[in-house]
Each structure stands twice: as structure tokens, then as C-alpha cells.
């Protein structure tokens, strides 16, 4: 099974602990931690939706706006049955730090609805999407808070929401949301942006570790949008996909698997398991494989201390948000595993969202080649900033994650100070 977590780990407490650790490492005043440990505001709303049978069902919707020191709040909206307020708060914190690391002029936000999209029709999804926007519209806007797709949401959901917001405003204001269809001002390359960013980050990590992607073996946990495209892009560089898992099972073949054929198999059967020529594997077994690279692309808190003890990979490129617990980080550090943290590795999505926002503002659109060149440049710069910061300022005393949080925190603290928010 995809989800390894046996007991609920509070991601909000994890996020706060990472901020506090960075504040202590930088010897900043406690006021900086106090200002960043909680979101500026969290909205919880009852979302009434008429279901196909005519009954009204009330869903719980959230929007967390963590910090807008560097620009408007920015962050996706996920639809998931197990989402709660603390998870949304944590994700908004990670977005603040992700934007600071990527050096895009946004703060951090996140939204969610507690629902199970697999049990809903397309019409029910549309009504839910529009009702969520009606509830949250007063706090959203192209200069205030800009949502995007996340787990179980996509360009179609964003189109419904952008259309509903435009109806409320009484004019087309598509810049309120990124990740839209191209016909509504979307950006070419947005669907693959997060995974392409993972590729660039992993490629740079392989370079500093002396690993050739042409000869590398890799495994992917979570074979959705990010997991599939990451696998495809790594395979295009010559890497060999030896294992993949999803929520129903896994497939393993030491000789390698074709990422596109594996996706076709999943689309036809509902899972990657039982892929022709493969052996069955679970996620715990995937993490124990002797391979060069692992890409976690599922949910939070998958790499626990127990899992970390079995990891033999040399690089972990976090396509998911918050997949590694603090205890696991310490173990991976001792094992000299280079973890490219989520706030760096999967920032390709928000970088291209920034490009989309800029294009919406200017009503001028770039080609896909131009988008990919700009994304690659931003990702390489971000990786090098963090790696050089780690090597020049911290030596071997901190992990890449700690260096990323420290780098971002310095930017945030300086900006908050000149704005008069502390000090």
C-alpha cells in the first residue's frame, strides 16, 4: 500500500519544529519564530453541495494563509477525505518557505475540502468546486491569494473555480487561479512542471554525488501526475525505473520498466500492480531497494525512522510535500543520503504558476520551450543557492533541508524586519 503511516503524525507540529530549528541555528530572536509558527489566518467553511440524488451534503472547506511578506499568498487546493485544518496549516507553511527558496514573489497559502472525489460524479465535483469558491472568494484575488491544483484537483476544477470567481466579480478575472486550461489563460508546461522540477533537482543532486543519470536506477512512490512524469523524465535521461507503488500495490522489475507502458497499465487496471513482467512489491519494500534514487510522490510522513533505517538509495528527491519525518532526516543524514527537500525539489509547480500569473497580468504568453528554459534556470539556481549555502556556511553540520529552511528564513526575517513586523 502507498501510505506507510500507521499512526497520524501531526504535520503542523512538524512544520513548526522545522521553523524553530532554523531560527535557533541562525540565532534569530524568538519573535521571528512567534511570527511564523502560525498562519496569518485560517478559514473553515461549511460547503453545501446538492448531490445527484437531490440531497444536500455539507463538506468542510479550508483556506490557510500563512505569510505574505514576500507577496500574495500562493498554494494549491486539495480534495481528500482525510484532510484537516492542521494539515492545511502545515502545507501553507511549506509554501511560504518553498516560494522563498525558489525566489518567486509569493507567500504561502493552502486550501482543501474534506471529501472523496472517487465517490463523486463530475457534476457533483463541479458544484463542490463552485461552492468552495463562493465561500472563499472574499479572501482570494490575483493580488491577495492565488490558489492552484493539488491532490485530486486539476485544470478542470481550476476552470470551474476561476469561472465562479469571475461571475462574482462580474468580469473575467482568471489571474485569481493558476493551473488553468490553456483556453482560460493557463500556462503551457504547467501539468508537468512539478515533475520537471524534480528532474532538474535530482539531476543536480546526482552531479554533486558523482552519479550518472544514464546509469542510475530509481524507484517512485506514488504513480500519479508527479510520480509518472518524474519517472518518464528520469528515464529519458537514461535512468532505469525498477519499482513503483500506488495506493493499491506495486510493481518491481530489476531489469527496468517502461514508465509510459506502466501508466497505460495503471489506467486500464486501476493500479501499477500486476504489470507484465514485474513482481509485486509494497511501499516499505520499495524504500528498502538497492537503487540510486527514490522519488516520494505520494502524501506526507511516508519516510519514518523505521523506513529510513532500511533505505539504501543515495538520493531522495521529494516530489511530495512533507514525506520525511524529522526523526527519519537524522537517520538519513548519518547514512549520507542526499535528501533534496520538498521546498526545493517540488518547487517547479509554483515556479510555473508564477510564470502563469505573470502572463495573465501582462496578457502575453510564452512558448513551451521558453517556459522550460526559464524553469530549468530557476531550479538550477535554487539548488545551487541551497547547496552552496550548506557547503559555505554550514559545512556538514546541517542537512539540505535545514539549509533550505535557513536560507528561506533569512530572506523572510529580513523582509519582515524592514517592513516593521519584528525587531
Q: Which residues are catalytic?
A: 110
Determine the distance from the C-alpha atom of residue 290 to the mean position of all C-alpha atoms in its chain, rounded to a whole number.
26
Q: What share of the chain is helix, strand, coil (3-state, %, to 5)?
A: 50, 20, 30
CA angle 42, 47, 49 (to 5 degrees): 165
> Please, which residues have CB within 8 angstroms of residue 101's CB and are 6 or more apart in sequence?
343, 344, 347, 382, 385, 386, 404, 407, 408
- Separation in Å, CA 317 to CA 97, 152, 221: 17, 21, 11
CA distance 312 to 31: 40
DSSP 118-162: GGS-HHHHHHHHHHHHHHHGGG-BTTTEEEEE-TT--HHHHHHHH
Closest by CA position to 221, among listed 123, 296, 313: 296
CB atoms within 10 A of CB 126: 19
Nine-digit cell at 195? 515533475
Residue positions counted in the chain: 423
Amino acid at each position: 500500500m502507498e501510505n506507510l503511516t500507521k499512526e497520524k503524525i501531526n504535520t503542523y507540529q512538524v512544520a513548526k519544529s522545522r521553523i524553530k530549528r532554523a531560527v535557533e541555528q541562525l540565532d534569530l530572536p524568538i519573535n521571528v519564530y512567534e511570527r511564523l509558527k502560525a498562519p496569518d489566518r485560517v478559514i473553515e467553511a461549511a460547503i453545501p453541495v446538492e448531490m445527484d440524488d437531490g440531497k444536500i451534503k455539507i463538506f468542510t472547506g479550508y483556506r490557510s494563509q500563512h505569510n505574505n511578506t514576500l507577496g500574495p499568498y500562493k498554494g494549491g487546493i486539495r480534495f481528500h477525505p482525510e484532510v484537516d485544518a492542521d494539515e492545511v496549516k502545515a502545507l501553507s507553511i511549506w509554501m511560504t518557505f518553498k516560494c522563498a527558496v525558489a525566489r518567486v514573489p509569493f507567500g504561502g497559502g493552502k486550501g482543501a475540502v474534506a471529501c472523496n472525489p472517487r465517490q463523486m460524479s463530475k457534476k457533483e465535483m463541479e458544484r463542490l468546486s463552485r461552492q468552495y469558491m463562493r465561500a472563499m472568494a472574499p479572501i482570494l484575488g490575483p493580488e491577495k491569494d492565488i490558489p492552484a491544483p493539488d491532490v485530486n484537483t486539476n485544470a478542470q476544477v481550476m476552470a470551474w473555480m476561476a469561472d465562479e470567481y469571475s461571475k462574482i466579480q462580474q468580469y473575467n478575472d482568471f489571474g485569481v487561479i493558476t493551473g488553468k486550461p490553456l483556453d482560460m489563460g493557463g500556462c503551457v508546461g504547467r501539468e508537468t512542471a512539478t515533475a520537471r522540477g524534480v528532474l532538474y533537482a535530482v539531476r543536480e543532486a546526482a552531479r554533486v554525488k558523482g552519479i550518472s543519470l544514464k546509469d542510475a536506477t530509481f524507484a517512485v512512490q506514488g504513480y500519479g501526475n508527479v510520480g509518472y512524469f518524474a519517472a518518464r523524465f528520469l528515464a529519458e535521461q537514461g535512468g532505469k525505473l525498477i519499482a513503483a507503488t500506488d495506493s493499491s500495490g506495486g510493481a518491481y522489475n530489476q531489469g527496468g520498466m517502461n514508465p509510459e507502458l506502466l501508466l497505460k497499465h495503471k489506467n486500464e487496471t486501476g493500479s501499477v500492480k500486476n504489470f507484465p513482467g514485474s513482481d509485486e512489491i509494497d511501499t516499505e519494500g520499495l524504500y528498502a531497494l538497492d537503487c540510486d534514487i527514490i522519488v516520494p510522490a505520494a502524501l506526507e510522513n511516508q519516510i519514518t525512522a523505521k523506513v529510513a533505517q532500511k533505505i539504501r538509495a543515495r538520493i531522495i528527491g521529494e516530489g511530495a510535500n512533507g514525506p520525511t519525518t524529522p526523526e527519519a532526516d537524522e537517520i538519513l543524514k548519518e547514512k549520507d543520503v542526499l535528501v533534496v527537500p520538498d521546498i526545493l525539489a517540488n518547487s517547479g509547480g509554483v515556479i510555473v504558476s508564477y510564470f502563469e500569473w505573470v502572463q495573465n497580468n501582462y496578457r502575453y504568453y510564452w512558448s513551451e520551450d521558453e517556459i522550460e528554459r526559464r524553469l530549468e534556470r530557476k531550479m538550477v539556481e535554487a539548488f545551487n543557492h541551497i547547496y552552496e549555502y550548506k557547503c559555505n556556511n554550514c559545512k556538514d553540520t546541517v542537512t539540505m533541508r535545514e539549509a533550505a529552511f535557513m536560507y528561506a528564513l533569512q530572506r523572510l526575517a529580513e523582509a519582515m524586519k524592514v517592513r516593521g513586523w519584528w525587531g
